Every structure is written in C-alpha cells, then in structure tokens.
C-alpha cells in the first residue's frame, strides 16, 4: 500500500518511496521527507552532475561530493547545475 509524505522538494503531499534510497541517516531522512517524484528529480540532477563533472561514483571523493549535493538538493536550498550545462531540451 502506497504511503504519502509531505515532500520537502515539491512542498506537497505525494506518494513516498518504499524504502530508503541511500544508506544511513540521509537515506532515512529522504524516505521520510521526499516523494518518488522528488527522488526522480534528484536522479536526473545527479546524472547531470556525474556527466558534466566526469564523476566516478565508485571513487570515495566523488561519492562524497554527490552525497553533499544530495543533502543540498533536498534539505539545504538546492544544488546548482554546473555552469557549463546546456539543457538539450531547451
């Protein structure tokens, strides 16, 4: 059965995630405060960060960068797109 959360990213009640999408405290906070739609927004943003900054998620420093950006994206006012990014859909 689906559960709703008050999504911190979108500011409204939406369907929540089924399990923590990330380990630890951050994953628990996301589970309780982020909707599926909000999480999908992060996945798109994360892809941009990985591609533009040429990150390798298995590298500890790159993982730490992505985790910090995830925290900002949801809980600290947002994560900026790379300055060089050009949206191919606009």
pLDDT score for 2: 82
**How confident is the model over 8-13, as a mean pLDDT?**
96
In contact, 42 and 14? CB cutoff 8 Å: no
Share of the chain above pLDDT 70, in %: 90
Instruction: Kindly report the number of other CB atoms within 10 A of residue 47's CB atom.
Output: 10
pTM listed for this prediction: 0.87
For the chain, which domains are there?
4-75 (1.10.3880.10)
């Amino acid at each position: 059965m689906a559960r709703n959360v008050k999504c911190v990213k979108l500011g409204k009640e939406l369907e929540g995630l089924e399990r923590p999408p990330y380990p630890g405290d951050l994953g628990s906070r996301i589970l309780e405060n982020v909707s599926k739609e909000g999480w999908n927004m992060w996945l798109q943003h994360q892809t941009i960060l990985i591609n533009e900054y040429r990150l390798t998620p298995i590298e500890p420093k790159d993982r730490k960068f992505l985790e910090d950006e995830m925290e900002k994206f949801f809980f600290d006012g947002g994560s900026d797109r790379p300055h060089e990014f050009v949206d191919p859909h606009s």
